[in-house]
Structure 1
Amino acid sequence: MSDASDVTKAAVVTPIRVAIAVCLIAPFVAMLWVGSYAKTDPVFIGIPFFYWYQMLWVLLSTALTMTAYQLWQRDQRTRKAEAATSTDGGAQQ
């Protein structure tokens, strides 16, 4: 019961999807690896490293999530365009 439409709908690992996964996983890894930032030095404008590092990741996480969203939108547009051309191309032959 497998036909060409089932194959095109299957999840495919592409470089864009790998980049999306890295963008979404990086903040979790950075925050769960507490030993990397559990210190007070260097101090930035009087704020210990432990605090400003976490606040920096709030901004970085926002940027990475926005990037992942943009990449996902581009990937979806590409898949729809490929599906449309493969459907049209099959009708012409």
Structure 2
Amino acid sequence: MVTPVRVVIAVCLVAPFVAMLWVSSYAKADPAFIGIPFFYWYQMLWVLISTVLTMIAYQLWQREQRARKAARGQRGARS
């Protein structure tokens, strides 16, 4: 079942792959950051961004699973 939360989870998990596979967007030396060419610091920045996005996706998934269990529990109690 596709829900808005699952769409957000998918975007969080797919975004780093798209950013890293679109090499022409970052295959350059400028702008350098503290002497590090753009090509390298962009990739390292995405390591941090990917971590944050994965944490967000995990938290959203956990919240959705708890809500689904609670909804099942309430339906079972009504029967």
Q: TM-score range by the shorter chain?
A: over 0.9
| Shift >4 Å, 4+ stretches | none
Aligned AA for 2:44?
M
TM-score calculated relative to the size of structure 1: 0.82
Structure with greater Cα Rg: 1
Unaligned runs of 5+ in 2: none
Which residue of structure 2 lines up, in the alignment, with residue 6 of structure 1? none
> Match of 2:47, SS?
helix
CA RMSD of aligned residues (A): 0.6
> Residue 11 of structure 2: which of 22, 30, 45 is its match?
22
Distance in 2, matches of 1:22 and 1:66, equals: 13
Counterpart Cα distance in 1 of 2:26 and 2:53: 20
Overall identity of the aligned pairs, in %: 73
* 1:78 partner amino acid: A
Listed one character per residue, the Cα deviations across residues 18-37 of structure 1 (whole Å, up to 9, x for unaligned) are: 11000000000000000000
Q: Report the CA distance between 1:49 and its aligned residue.
A: 0.4
Structure 1: runs of 5+ lacking an equivalent: 1-11
Q: Distance in 2 between matches of 1:17 and 1:71?
A: 8
Which residue does the alignment assign to 1:8? none
Deviation of 1:78 (Å): 0.5
- What are the equivalent positions in structure 2 for 1:1-16 lying under 5 Å apart? 12-16=1-5
Structure 1 residue 41 corresponds to structure 2 residue 7:
no
Matched, 1:77 2:66: yes
Are 2:48 and 1:59 equivalent residues in the alignment?
yes
